[in-house]
């Protein structure tokens, strides 16, 4: 069931250890499910309870998966780890007010002589809540615990050929899902019925390969709701004369290809039509700029200069690194395409460039998921890049 060859996981682990060494980290606690999967292959919807991968600096030690008893078999099935590296805590640690799984983890580290270690924890990810830190500190009072939320994300920011192939598969699913969305947004159809068909397409995938759940559900703000990006659907009908923003992804074995488009039913208001042309021009310019050696902020600048020529200002970032992920986000938390981010792009980084415009009572989004190549950002998916008028 491994998604990649064991060798690829071992390369990833070696790369993570290089960064650990640079930061003087003795042991990483990776609780972000994307990072757990990246390093070991672990895949299951068990991240609603505490679980993590322990990665020591010792090249001779395989990572250790720690989680709930009932999920240990999932770790044995989905990872390359030897069974003795799958360690589970008893069920009375779950949602307990008196015991905490990070005390159990602290105990494991103590047994391994790591009670005075410098520990990297993913402190700004959703999967390492405040109480995890407090429990670990209490159990290992002599350890130094530092925030290493982005250590693994910076390892995974450049994709391997095998990962690019998974992104391609995700793109094929993305194209189908977006086509389904466009086809199902029409007057009289309920938003939920359109969303239902989108989900079906995302999960069924293609004849050759199936789809996986996406880290974010399809977002479908419609009509007045287009003034904000993160509304989902309801059971109202789509209305003639109104626009709907669709943001969705295709996902193949946890790898995402996201995309946003805006669909107008009936004649588009001039401001929407005009803005769409500007957004596409800005997006194209940003993509063209996205070459190895260019910085993330220069990509944003290419976008901003385009729209400012047309008198539009936009404050939020226009993109981020994407790929392997789990709910609640398909962003990786490393590169942000915005002023101040001086990350030099490298070949085979994958970014979602999503320049959204949200005004007081309307908005629009047109985006692409791109691969950084020497000739600029290459869109993974092939889908008409404009305002879609039906």
Residues in 330-369 at the binding interface with a second copy, rule: CB under 8 A:
331, 333, 336, 338, 340, 356, 358, 360
Of 89 and 380, the one with the shorter C-beta distance to a second copy is 89
* Lateral strand order in the sheet of 243-252: 243-252, 255-264, 388-389
Contacting range for a second copy; rule: CB under 8 A; set: 264-272, 283-291, 298-306, 310-318 = 310-318
Q: Which of 329, 348, 373, 389 binds a second copy (CB under 8 A)?
A: 329
- CA–CA separation, 360 and 342 (whole Å): 31
Q: Interface with a second copy includes 121 (CB under 8 A)?
A: yes
- CA–CA separation, 312 and 301 (whole Å): 13
Of 167 and 296, the one with the shorter C-beta distance to a second copy is 296
3-class state of residue 321 by DSSP:
strand
Binding positions for a second copy, 141-160, rule CB under 8 A: 147, 149-150
Q: Interface with a second copy includes 22 (CB under 8 A)?
A: no
Q: Which of 83, 84, 111, 315 binds a second copy (CB under 8 A)?
A: 315
Contacting range for a second copy; rule: CB under 8 A; set: 105-113, 118-126, 262-270, 284-292 = 118-126
Q: Which of 2, 57, 87, 133 binds a second copy (CB under 8 A)?
A: 133
Neighbours of 242 (CB within 10 A): 19
Residue 67's closest CA among 39, 38, 105? 105
Q: Which of 234, 277, 305, 384 binds a second copy (CB under 8 A)?
A: 234
- CA–CA separation, 349 and 205 (whole Å): 24
- Whole-number minimum distance, CB 329 to a second copy, in Å? 4
Q: Interface with a second copy includes 216 (CB under 8 A)?
A: yes
Q: Which of 203, 278, 280, 312 binds a second copy (CB under 8 A)?
A: 203
> Who contacts 205 (Cβ-Cβ below 8 Å, separation ≥6)?
169, 172, 173, 211, 250, 252
3-class state of residue 145 by DSSP:
strand
Contacting range for a second copy; rule: CB under 8 A; set: 107-115, 126-134, 280-288, 375-383 = 126-134
Q: What is the DSSP string of 285-317?
A: HHHHH--TT-BHHHHHHHHHHHHHHTT----S-
Q: Interface with a second copy includes 287 (CB under 8 A)?
A: no
Contacting range for a second copy; rule: CB under 8 A; set: 65-73, 275-283, 292-300, 366-374 = 65-73
Q: Which of 41, 106, 120, 205 binds a second copy (CB under 8 A)?
A: 205
- CA–CA separation, 375 and 245 (whole Å): 30
Of 225 and 376, the one with the shorter C-beta distance to a second copy is 225
- CA–CA separation, 305 and 286 (whole Å): 10
Q: Interface with a second copy includes 240 (CB under 8 A)?
A: no
Q: Which of 200, 271, 310, 378 binds a second copy (CB under 8 A)?
A: 200
Neighbours of 119 (CB within 10 A): 24
State the number of binding residues for a second copy (CB under 8 A): 86
Using omega within 30 degrees of 0 as the cis cutoff, is the peptide bond preceding 30 cis? Answer: no
Q: Interface with a second copy includes 270 (CB under 8 A)?
A: no
Of 94 and 164, the one with the shorter C-beta distance to a second copy is 94
- CA–CA separation, 357 and 344 (whole Å): 26
Of 149 and 264, the one with the shorter C-beta distance to a second copy is 149
- Backbone φ, ψ for residue 314 (5° rounding): -145, 130
Q: Interface with a second copy includes 74 (CB under 8 A)?
A: yes
Q: Interface with a second copy includes 4 (CB under 8 A)?
A: no
Q: Interface with a second copy includes 1 (CB under 8 A)?
A: yes
Q: Interface with a second copy includes 376 (CB under 8 A)?
A: no
Binding positions for a second copy, 154-193, rule CB under 8 A: 190-193
What 354-357 contacts at long range (C-beta under 8 Å, 24+ apart), as own/partner pairs, is: 354/247, 354/258, 354/260, 354/318, 354/319, 355/279, 355/282, 355/283, 355/286, 355/303, 355/307, 355/314, 355/318, 355/319, 356/229, 356/245, 356/260, 356/314, 356/316, 357/275, 357/279, 357/312, 357/314
Of 13 and 260, the one with the shorter C-beta distance to a second copy is 260
Contacting range for a second copy; rule: CB under 8 A; set: 10-18, 221-229, 269-277, 371-379 = 221-229
Q: Interface with a second copy includes 228 (CB under 8 A)?
A: yes
């Amino acid at each position: 069931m491994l998604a990649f060859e064991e060798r690829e996981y071992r390369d990833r682990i070696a790369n993570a250890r290089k960064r650990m060494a640079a930061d003087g980290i003795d042991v990483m606690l990776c609780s972000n499910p994307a990072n757990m999967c990246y390093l070991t292959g672990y895949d299951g919807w068990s991240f609603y309870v505490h679980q993590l991968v322990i990665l020591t600096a010792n090249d001779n030690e395989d990572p250790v998966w720690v989680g709930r008893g009932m999920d240990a078999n999932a770790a044995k099935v989905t990872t390359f780890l030897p069974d003795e590296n799958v360690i589970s805590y008893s069920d009375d640690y779950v949602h307990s007010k008196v015991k905490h799984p990070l005390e159990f983890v602290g105990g494991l580290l103590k047994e391994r002589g790591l009670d005075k270690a410098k520990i990297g924890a993913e402190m700004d990810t959703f999967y390492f809540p405040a109480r995890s830190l407090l429990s670990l500190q209490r159990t290992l009072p002599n350890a130094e615990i530092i925030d290493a939320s982005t250590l693994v994300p910076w390892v995974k920011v450049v994709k391997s050929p095998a990962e690019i192939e998974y992104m391609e598969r995700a793109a094929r699913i993305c194209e189908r899902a977006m086509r389904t969305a466009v086809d199902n947004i029409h007057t009289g159809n309920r938003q939920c019925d359109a969303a239902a068909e989108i989900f079906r397409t995302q999960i069924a995938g293609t004849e050759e390969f199936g789809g996986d759940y996406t880290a974010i559900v399809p977002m479908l703000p419609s009509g007045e709701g287009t003034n904000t990006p993160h509304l989902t659907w309801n059971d109202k009908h789509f209305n003639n004369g109104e626009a709907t923003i669709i943001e969705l992804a295709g996902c193949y074995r946890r790898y995402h290809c996201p995309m946003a488009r805006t669909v107008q039913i009936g004649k588009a208001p001039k401001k929407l039509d005009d803005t769409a042309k500007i957004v596409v021009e800005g997006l194209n310019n940003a993509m063209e700029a996205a070459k190895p050696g260019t910085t993330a902020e220069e990509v944003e600048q290419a976008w901003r200069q385009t729209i400012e020529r047309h008198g539009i200002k936009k404050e939020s970032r226009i993109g981020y690194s994407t790929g392997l992920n789990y709910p609640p986000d398909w962003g990786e938390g490393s590169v942000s395409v915005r002023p101040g981010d001086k990350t030099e792009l490298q070949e085979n980084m994958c970014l979602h460039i999503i320049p959204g415009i949200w005004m007081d009572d309307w908005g629009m989004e047109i985006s692409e998921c791109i691969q950084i190549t020497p000739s600029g950002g290459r869109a993974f998916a092939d889908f008409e890049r404009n305002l879609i008028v039906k």
